[in-house]
Structure 1
């Protein structure tokens, strides 16, 4: 295999050349390189707006790339070890949906864990594919879902030999990894495609001593959030394909939903960030891993908090752990993760990634400074001193296994009625309820609403979790299937 020169950034180079030509624009966007919107230009910078341009012959076209975008795709594929890479500007959500829709047509089955991001279940609503859920393992002490057990995946395969694909969420938001290689080999033995939601695993391709990446174990497709740990602009991602997946057909699927007005700000950020990681990723993520480990050690010294890591590995549902993740269990200080999230933001001006009922996640990257790290550690110590309570006041919760009655598409489009959420136990949900982040549904269309789930939703609201997904923005009412 011939490796390409990773010090190229063809989209950035073409934009610089185009800017130097001083072309008179009689095309869109209408701000005309910022001249038509001075306030925006002052806010974002004239240099930024000068490359917010339309697709044209010298700059290629994202929907059908033949020149510089095509070259950027080939460089990305080379960097990630894939057969081909697509530059995605509708976020990893669209990459996950493109994977599912490429692998499965309406009425075909896909095996997946229930603790997937809403984008995967949205893909089932759009496509009409039928989910076969594998319940993830659960860590009862932490109250978090884990990875997929190989034995549970095999059971699902044997019970559903007609399934077309398996979707694996790797790593989870908390850094938990499944046995990607074993599941991939198992699926391929049964002629099923392997799709990996690697939204939080960009660094697996470039760092050392990190969990296996999807492409390295022979998976067929992977959705990679370059904007998370890879340094590109928000909303920019890669979709990687491998093996016998058709590039042309996958692009057709992508073009069903992705914008025809691809932002060159997002595209160039993908191009530049890929170049940076290909050339310097090893050093970048070595530094990130060291920072995360230092913070784990310091936080665990405080007492009460538990910043977990590789000690969770059990060779099955926790096959590996992403040591760049700073996931911290908070219940032993008597505070829900979301409460600490709010205190950090409101009283210490520290914005972490998310807090749920029992945990917080601080996203660590090469952009962090030692001063910032010390500030977060000190704030957590002070929060414990000022706010710690008896753990008995905390709602003990862990992953709730859903009762699946209808497919997501059937339930979402079925005749429905609106009920007060407090009176909905026993009905079938026709919409989502989820805390965002992380965007993993508490309820998804087609699932039975239970008292246990309603108690969890009520507690989440009480503690200040940002709930989304229902037609009612206040989450006071919920749409359920209309009873005949």
Structure 2
């Protein structure tokens, strides 16, 4: 067995070698290394355009890699502690879908928290798998869903021993981690695969002071958004497999939906970013955690805001906390998070990751400067001074437990009719409604629409949340399952 060297970047090295060969291109893409599209080349730069190339023998092929892509994936697997790593160019959405479709065929059950990203429920629509939802814990003061309680997972396993897999969010958008080791051990005792949506957990693999990663606890598959905290280009991601999961079968599943024209810009960014994290990750993420802690402390000194962290840990639904996450509760100053989000962007030229009803999330990475953090803190202090108001009358929302009447696939493809949103209570939704980000459905296909859900949707719209999911782009009408005559 060859000992792999993490300071190599095989895809980047192959592209550099290819550029020096001065090959005349009579293949796609048609911009021909940028010469055919001068405006695009001026905008993106010649370096970028010359490596936007097609699969060919010297550069390997993502759908069946045997040389440089294969070597890059092997290096990533070693860096992440996995049996194999697949480079994904359709985002972590396609990695989550590949996990679910690998584990479950039509009609088979999968246990998952209801506060999953839409990509997991989309996978159920595509595959016909049946969700068994575990309602996450809830922190009523902060209005955020937490992780899954081990006892709730155990109950779901006992009630559905025929389930094929369990899906875990690690961490949630807010930085909350479930007890992955206990859940993984429990699932394996009952012959179930463990799939982990690690969209926000890339850094867990490269810093020993952060929460446990999926591969470190023996999970079977994990979808990792390298482009979030890992530094690669948007839409690039990695799917990890472990244990007895078949590499060949997973690649077949990936190739059902992933492009046959894998972008070398995205793949080389994964390769270079993996090299950087493998060599420097401990130092990088210690610095990020330090910046986040400094900013948390400064925000908490302002008063009114609550930047929360490890003090929330309870050994179960908040088993651990990602200290690189800067999540801030805003309701005590009388402003929903989405309003603080809008004010920061519109009046202070500060773009944070998202705002929801009660909280904001500022994504901190190694690319931030101390000056930027100070600017954020100063803006939040000024927003409190200028805009804070009485918090009475603010929507006190917490997690709404869904009533699932149909599987997502049944409802999505069922005969349907369009109704005005306000007249839809009592009917079964055949589509999603969600605020994006974070992209966690308020309503998913197959769930009964209630007045409580409609009030929450209206409140989100009134406060300026970006709503999405329905066929009606204005989110005024909703498709519901047609009732039999």
- The TM-score normalised by the length of structure 2 is 0.99
> Structure 1 regions of 5+ residues with no counterpart?
none
What is the CA–CA distance in structure 2 between the aligned matches of 1:24 and 1:119, rounded to whole Å? 41
The match for 2:199 is 199
Q: CA offsets, 1:449-470, max 9 Å, x none?
A: 0000000000000000000000
1:483 Cα offset (Å): 1.1
> Structure 2 regions of 5+ residues with no counterpart?
none
What is the CA–CA distance in structure 2 between the aligned matches of 1:217 and 1:445, rounded to whole Å? 33
How does 1:363-382 map onto structure 2 within 5 Å? 363-382=363-382
What count of residue pairs does the alignment treat as equivalent? Answer: 484
The match for 2:453 is 453
The match for 1:387 is 387
Q: Secondary structure at the match of 1:106?
A: coil
Q: CA offsets, 1:372-412, max 9 Å, x none?
A: 00000000000000000101031111111111110000000
What is the CA–CA distance in structure 2 between the aligned matches of 1:269 and 1:342, rounded to whole Å? 31
Q: Secondary structure at the match of 1:392?
A: coil
The match for 2:480 is 480
Cα distance, 1:3–1:354 mapped onto 2, change above 3 Å? farther
The match for 2:356 is 356
1:467 aligns with 2:464: no
The match for 1:77 is 77
Q: CA offsets, 1:45-72, max 9 Å, x none?
A: 0010000000000000000000000000
The match for 2:441 is 441
Cα distance, 1:291–1:3 mapped onto 2, change above 3 Å? farther
- The TM-score normalised by the length of structure 1 is 1.00
1:323 Cα offset (Å): 0.2
What is the CA–CA distance in structure 2 between the aligned matches of 1:84 and 1:397, rounded to whole Å? 41
The match for 1:298 is 298
Q: CA offsets, 1:23-58, max 9 Å, x none?
A: 000000000000000000000000100000000000
Q: Secondary structure at the match of 1:196?
A: strand
CA contact (8 A) 1:432 1:443 kept: yes
What is the CA–CA distance in structure 1 between the aligned matches of 2:422 and 2:293, rounded to whole Å? 43
The match for 1:131 is 131
Q: Secondary structure at the match of 2:327?
A: strand
1:3 Cα offset (Å): 4.8
What is the CA–CA distance in structure 1 between the aligned matches of 2:41 and 2:399, rounded to whole Å? 47
Q: CA offsets, 1:315-360, max 9 Å, x none?
A: 0000000000000000000000000000000000000000000000
What is the CA–CA distance in structure 2 between the aligned matches of 1:184 and 1:224, rounded to whole Å? 18
Q: Secondary structure at the match of 2:188?
A: helix
What is the CA–CA distance in structure 2 between the aligned matches of 1:137 and 1:145, rounded to whole Å? 6
What is the CA–CA distance in structure 1 between the aligned matches of 2:211 and 2:409, rounded to whole Å? 34
The match for 1:175 is 175
1:4 Cα offset (Å): 1.6
CA RMSD, 1 decimal = 0.6
How does 1:287-326 map onto structure 2 within 5 Å? 287-326=287-326
Q: Secondary structure at the match of 1:168?
A: strand
Q: Secondary structure at the match of 2:156?
A: helix
What is the CA–CA distance in structure 1 between the aligned matches of 2:107 and 2:331, rounded to whole Å? 43
What is the CA–CA distance in structure 1 between the aligned matches of 2:2 and 2:48, rounded to whole Å? 35
What is the CA–CA distance in structure 1 between the aligned matches of 2:247 and 2:17, rounded to whole Å? 29
Q: Give runs of ≥4 in structure 1 deviating > 2 Å.
A: none
The match for 1:336 is 336
The match for 1:27 is 27
The match for 2:11 is 11
The match for 2:263 is 263
1:45 aligns with 2:51: no
What is the CA–CA distance in structure 1 between the aligned matches of 2:102 and 2:66, rounded to whole Å? 22
1:2 Cα offset (Å): 6.7
What is the CA–CA distance in structure 1 between the aligned matches of 2:105 and 2:64, rounded to whole Å? 23
Q: Secondary structure at the match of 1:475?
A: coil
CA contact (8 A) 1:3 1:78 kept: no
What is the CA–CA distance in structure 2 between the aligned matches of 1:4 and 1:135, rounded to whole Å? 42
Q: Secondary structure at the match of 1:391?
A: coil
